[in-house]
Structure 1
């Protein structure tokens, strides 16, 4: 089974595979039927053109009913819905169901994305290269055609869980995706391209009813997502079926692997944005290690960007004496027994992207409850906070929010965050002044820090269970000379 985003329900089995209870229990409007005919369901991998089949599979994606005019009936409006079915880890296929308006609307209301269905009397046809441009990518050279003589029902067989587990596996390799930083850095060179993204949900915007130029009624909303490299990125959703699913996604908990999302440059925002199209397949809480890492980072973000502050009392750096290489630190993290670990790394900052125009490196936090201010609100958004009222509002705390990576001769430690005091010492400015620096000045400061030798004081805080349950904060970076570094290594060799 795939993980549902609640890692307390996850266990590591003896065979090393991760499993979890899937909490999704869909409401069915159509009575479930099984084995309408005696034919054994076919499997997608073995399909042959020109035959009529039965098939069981989980719905990866589907669209809303639409009307079209075909070559065979140029004067008669026909209705259809498209869906993508999967019956195994490696095989999935596109299908189109044709019929009268009332029938197609009835079918559309009877099932949704993520449900396991059984179809009967589906014709296997060669995939049309033109039509496939507007459908999700499929490894099958065929497509399924269903008509009023076909049937589709909810499947309740004993092997239903096998199909459900497939819905939590991306249709592309787990490592085949862009980070949001990659998208922003590539900028307009990606304009119009379809890419894969692995992101966490931040916030679902207002759902709006839109009338197109042709009079078609549609819904639109913008989903805010993030990853370890970018705090906020826009994903535009047009398809009502996806929007209905998005309403159930939980901020800072739901992780999405998005296949073939279109990237465009938005002139109004002067930045990149993504849009889900008819080719897009969204895998919710994918059962891959990369998604589990991002889930824990999202939880970290909820702490780091929500209720925790930097005012936790840390010891003076003179009291921190344990020295680690990055490799030693990574190895010790897997068996960390204490809640907090302090230490020193003799190394350098290997990632310090403070001159990016598409990131926010300064944030405002409520002086009373420590909640982060929303970008669109000048006051605390926590309704239980005394500062939420205009009459009691105190000046917010301004602080740095800068991600970085630390390296030495053994390895690189990514996903670190600089404390405000550490950032101030590196940038020689405070968070109030930093946004007003020119890009050239920020670039200059960046290269004054990158790859310089530092004595790096860090704090690791344990935050739960899983593959990456830590918050890594850089407390201070003190420049060191070659002689200091040589003396350190000589002491290590003694």
Structure 2
């Protein structure tokens, strides 16, 4: 059935009206909600099922669609298509929407109406005509809000709790996508949660939380550090546990992937440059994780196994030896200077940051100087190579600051090295997935001190 011959049979969303008889509408799905059920008032003991989606057929027009029916009909339809599919809806009811109710719980649309689909009167099918898809699919990359109407992540952080519980638009790049976590509520309902880390030229990591299966399925298809999102109507909240602001996808939210806008193009270029520069890999600040909250004890082999099985950041304690600690090499390999704006390694003599993606590239260079070591952590089960030991954590471990270290003689540095090397230590460590590294993971030492023998015996015997 060629779309070109049928084009006159479709009613444009902009032309829909309650008096339209037997409308036939084609559009691309830009948003979709999970299936929900409610007790059926007409049939006691039975439930009615519903879900909704939003379709777009032109740059400026889109409309919400609601579907109601029994379990088999609704779940069957919901599982048959997803965001990004082109659909044809035949004979829906065109109803005037209640703006106050509709715009509160559904995506805000320019249409005065909404479409109702029922098993008895309507039909819904996937559109596979090439001409139709060529016309509709580019609409996926056009935000449903003004492309200039958004908050940067820096704006959100700067405004802080004054934005708590507000609904705003966000333009950001995807830094990382965690694995979904599944749970069961106290009343037996099953749920899921997935966290995406966003970044832009003002903030290197900002959490976006997804609770709905549809949103989770969408973000799981994205490529970290190569994807820009325009997130319309995200809910902003303050996470008191982590003491930070977060964004949450809700029933109003529409996520536009790689928007075709000037602002998104600039951010995409920045994301590509900053990813290639390695800045994001360097942005592991030990202070982000309080060591008092870490209690799980691992052997080295258990750390490696968990990192392979669970591609998420996690922390633990290992009673191990520091088996490599190059303090008696050149000072430039122990202490490094980094741009305070982007943390890129710099040479202070050049007086400028060489990272082309640095947000402070047009400003005078300011640097932070500190320990920047790679150490090996070893126990009877294996070795974690090239773990980062940086900043104040390194100062506490070594017992001196960079200025004091520079003044030491080579013999004094060697003596310092052997005070720690091959001694049993209590090491708090943060493990981060790193596909580009040979081991597939990176270790970051959060705290390191000589271990108490009694504590070692008690914990190591528990791991046998």
Would you say same fold, with TM above 0.5? yes
Q: Give CA-to-partner distance per residue, 1:115-142, whole Å, 9 cap, x none.
A: 1110111000011232431111111111
Say yes or no: does 1:399 pair with 2:338. Answer: yes
Give the match for residue 365 of structure 2.
422
Helix, strand or coil at the partner of 2:275: helix
Give the match for residue 47 of structure 2.
77
Q: How far 1:54 moved relative to its partner? A: 1.1
Q: How many Å separate the matches in 2 of 1:232 and 1:301?
A: 13
1:177 to 142, 150, 156: 150
Q: How far 1:434 moved relative to its partner? A: 8.5
Q: How many Å separate the matches in 1 of 2:91 and 2:82?
A: 20
When normalised by structure 1's length, the TM-score is 0.58
Give the match for residue 285 of structure 1.
258
1:188-267 aligned within 5 A: 188-267=161-240
CA RMSD of aligned residues (A): 3.7
Say yes or no: does 1:43 pair with 2:16. Answer: no
Q: How far 1:159 moved relative to its partner? A: 3.0
Report which of the two structures shows the higher radius of gyration computed on alpha carbons: 2
Q: Give CA-to-partner distance per residue, 1:434-462, whole Å, 9 cap, x none.
A: 989xxxxxxxxxxxxxxxxxxxxxxxxxx
1:103 to 34, 51, 73: 73
When normalised by structure 2's length, the TM-score is 0.62
Give the match for residue 139 of structure 2.
166
Q: How far 1:247 moved relative to its partner? A: 1.4
Q: How many Å separate the matches in 2 of 1:60 and 1:197?
A: 17
Q: How far 1:400 moved relative to its partner? A: 3.9
Q: How far 1:69 moved relative to its partner? A: 3.4
Give the match for residue 88 of structure 1.
58
Judge conservation of contact 1:203–1:225 (CA < 8 Å) in 2: yes
Q: How far 1:107 moved relative to its partner? A: 0.9
Give the match for residue 304 of structure 1.
277
Give the match for residue 387 of structure 2.
none
Judge conservation of contact 2:193–2:211 (CA < 8 Å) in 1: yes
Q: How many Å separate the matches in 2 of 1:398 and 1:151?
A: 65
Helix, strand or coil at the partner of 1:203: strand
Q: How many Å separate the matches in 1 of 2:209 and 2:325?
A: 34
Q: How far 1:66 moved relative to its partner? A: 1.5
Say yes or no: does 1:142 pair with 2:113. Answer: yes
Q: How many Å separate the matches in 2 of 1:142 and 1:284?
A: 26
Give the match for residue 414 of structure 2.
none
Say yes or no: does 1:64 pair with 2:34. Answer: yes
Judge conservation of contact 2:337–2:369 (CA < 8 Å) in 1: no
Helix, strand or coil at the partner of 1:167: helix
Helix, strand or coil at the partner of 1:291: helix
Higher helix proportion: 2
Q: How far 1:76 moved relative to its partner? A: 3.5
With 207-216 and 98-107 compared, the bigger mean Cα shift is at 207-216
Q: How many Å separate the matches in 2 of 1:435 and 1:162?
A: 56
Q: Give CA-to-partner distance per residue, 1:52-87, whole Å, 9 cap, x none.
A: 411000000112221123666675311111000101
Q: How far 1:375 moved relative to its partner? A: 11
Helix, strand or coil at the partner of 1:231: coil
Say yes or no: does 1:271 pair with 2:214. Answer: no
Give the match for residue 416 of structure 2.
none
Judge conservation of contact 2:29–2:54 (CA < 8 Å) in 1: yes
Judge conservation of contact 2:29–2:55 (CA < 8 Å) in 1: yes
Judge conservation of contact 2:228–2:268 (CA < 8 Å) in 1: yes
Judge conservation of contact 2:59–2:142 (CA < 8 Å) in 1: yes
Unaligned 5+ runs, structure 2: 289-310, 327-333, 344-355, 372-389, 394-464
1:118 to 82, 85, 88: 88
1:22-37 aligned within 5 A: none
Structure-2 change in CA distance of 1:69 and 1:254 (3 Å): same
Q: Number of aligned pairs?
A: 322
Structure-2 change in CA distance of 1:70 and 1:38 (3 Å): farther
Structure-2 change in CA distance of 1:255 and 1:100 (3 Å): same
Helix, strand or coil at the partner of 2:105: coil
With 395-404 and 126-135 compared, the bigger mean Cα shift is at 395-404
Q: How far 1:289 moved relative to its partner? A: 1.1
Q: How many Å separate the matches in 1 of 2:153 and 2:252?
A: 20
Q: How far 1:163 moved relative to its partner? A: 0.8
Q: How many Å separate the matches in 2 of 1:161 and 1:435?
A: 56
Structure-2 change in CA distance of 1:396 and 1:287 (3 Å): farther
Judge conservation of contact 2:238–2:246 (CA < 8 Å) in 1: yes
Structure-2 change in CA distance of 1:37 and 1:174 (3 Å): closer
Structure-2 change in CA distance of 1:280 and 1:308 (3 Å): closer
Q: Give CA-to-partner distance per residue, 1:311-339, whole Å, 9 cap, x none.
A: xxxxxxxxxxxxxxxxxxxxxxxxxxxxx
With 156-165 and 215-224 compared, the bigger mean Cα shift is at 156-165
